[in-house]
Chains A and B, each alone.
Chain A
Amino acid sequence: MGVGVVSVLAAAAFSSTVGAAGLDPGSVARALIDALPGVSLDSGLSVVQTSILFEIRLPRVVLGAIVGAVLALAGASYQGVFRNALADPYLLGVAAGSGLGATVAIGVSGEPALLAPFAFVGGMAAVGITYALGRSVGGRSATSLILAGVAVSAFATAIQTYLIQRNSDTLREVYAWILGRLVTVGWRDVLQLLPYAVIASAVMFGSRRLLDVLSIGDDEAGALGVDVGRVRAVVVIAATLATAAAVSVSGLIGFVGIIVPHTVRLLFGWSYRVIVPLSILFGSSFLMLADVAARSLVAPAELPIGVLTAFFGAPFFLLVLRTMRGPT
């Protein structure tokens, strides 16, 4: 657990000091200490630099930390309740639904400010339909729910593609969102996302032991007095709400939800009592670091962060997989 906390602090410190404005790391550290209540310290930063730090860079770092934590946590939750190693935060149609919402917001209304709310509503609607369809076809079976998610995703993506084809001028903006980005307008996005992240973390933290029980199967967990359907519903709703909120501000950042929980599992064991808290911590640090790379590799331009998480995450994941599963 200590390793996780240290990694978050290190990643946060590192990513606060790197950026286009070229702020001196020592000054950033002094400015941050100065901002603590009851401490006064001259950071040597100008007023403009201080405002860049607090109004542009820090919100972005914090947003990255929260989005990373949410995606990794949601991935771990889905993998637990569906007992499916391939489950990711977008499994039940959040991504496709949000994508459709975003496309409608930009392509049809032409109003970029509507993107986030539309994406959120689209994502939640898609998961709602997935849940209703899954229940109507297969009762409480996890497989029918996953298959319903596949169908809903395909359907929403089809409509989205059609809309983009019809409004090709908006394609670029929607495309940029689909690839994921952490460009923010100050603290507003952070504050929008925070409540969902807190609720999801609390629910998952409370359910982490039950996720271990679910690993012996629905029937046996049920015979131990666990209301499997209710646990699954509560966890899925919490994880989905948080994912939809994250996606609506950051776009589709792939791989975090698969790679982080699996890496944690391979390194620290099977129990969700470990996987849940460590996924939150490592998801945070992973995305903060990915964002540093996104804004510095081709500076002053930026790379889409979703491209970087996949580019660096996938080989790293394979490396961990090889090391752990190799001959012992």
Chain B
Amino acid sequence: MIVWEDVEVSYDGRSVLGPVTVGVADGEWLALIGPNGAGKTTLIKTAVGVVAFGGKVSFGGRQMRMGLDVAWMPQRPHLPEEMGVADYVMLGRTPHLGFLAAETKHDVETVYLALEKLDLLEFARRPLGTLSGGEAQRAVLARALAQEAPVLLLDEPTASLDIGHAVEVLDVVDQLRREEGLTVVTAAHDLTLAGRYADRLLLLSGGRVVADGGPGDVLTESHLKAHYGAGIRVIDDHDGPIVVPMRYKGT
């Protein structure tokens, strides 16, 4: 179980997040939603130690071990153009290697297993710079997977993908979660997709948690209107809520 406890972040004395307290159970999928600047990305970043924060993030009741407990897929990952896909995925093994340690057979196997799961075997030797948006996204996910961390933190994993590829990537994540018992935390802009895949949604606004619960409880017109602004309709479908934008008509 990963737990954020009274986590607060401020830049130049201006509070941008929290205090937020939230726990995610093992095997659960939590989607962080909320308008731009709500603090979704910041909350994720506190768990990987790339922003300074107050409060505590723990895993399994103890202090977080960097690289071993959580694997992070940033919103805009840095992809060195010339690096091959397999080499890039191998970087995910870093937390398991000592300062001088060479990669073992197990590391190589883990990398190829991750490539296989994300359908990237044929791209293993291709430079990252030659991949399409969807392929690159899968490569980043493969690297996160190769870390063999029990928690995946995915910051807008489908941001640059068309709807077909978005569903494909989320299906893979969901399948991995079931097979490996992974805990998944995603920051999401597409509310309908978030509702389809996540067990639980956390609506952030202005750095605070304003709603927390199942898709049906959080994706309501009143919540979304209050925090995203007017012009949103929620249609109930038997698979979960469908969120659609309404167009303002000029008067």
A220/B78 in contact, CB under 8 A? yes
Contacts of B83 in A (CB 8 A): 212, 215, 270-271
A222/B66 in contact, CB under 8 A? yes
B97/A209 in contact, CB under 8 A? yes
B91/A216 in contact, CB under 8 A? yes
Of the listed stretches A60-68, A190-198, A223-231, A299-307, chain B binds A223-231
A322–B54 Cα distance when bound, in Å, is: 52
Contacts of B88 in A (CB 8 A): 216
Interface size class of B (residues with CB under 8 A): 20 to 34
Interface presence of A269 (CB below 8 A)? yes
A206–B98 Cα distance when bound, in Å, is: 11
B92/A224 in contact, CB under 8 A? yes
Interface presence of A217 (CB below 8 A)? yes
B141 CB to closest chain A CB (Å) equals 14
Interface presence of B216 (CB below 8 A)? no
A262 CB to closest chain B CB (Å) equals 13
B108 CB to closest chain A CB (Å) equals 14
Kindly identify which residue among B50, B74, B100 contacts A206, using a CB–CB cutoff of 8 Å.
B100
Write the chain B residue with the least CB distance to A217.
B78
A223–B72 Cα distance when bound, in Å, is: 7
Cβ proximity bits B134-166 to A, threshold 8 Å, 1 near / 0 not: 000000000000010000000000000000000
B74/A225 in contact, CB under 8 A? no
Give 14 A-B contacts (CB < 8 Å), ordered by A residue.
A212-B87, A216-B77, A216-B78, A217-B78, A219-B45, A219-B74, A221-B94, A222-B50, A223-B70, A223-B72, A224-B91, A225-B65, A269-B82, A271-B83
B87/A271 in contact, CB under 8 A? yes
A223/B91 in contact, CB under 8 A? no
Interface presence of B213 (CB below 8 A)? no
Known: A216-B77, A216-B91, A270-B80. A223 touches B67 (CB 8 A): yes
The 8 closest A-B pairs by CB, nearest first: A225-B67, A223-B48, A217-B78, A225-B95, A270-B82, A219-B50, A224-B94, A225-B66
A220/B72 in contact, CB under 8 A? yes
A206–B74 Cα distance when bound, in Å, is: 28
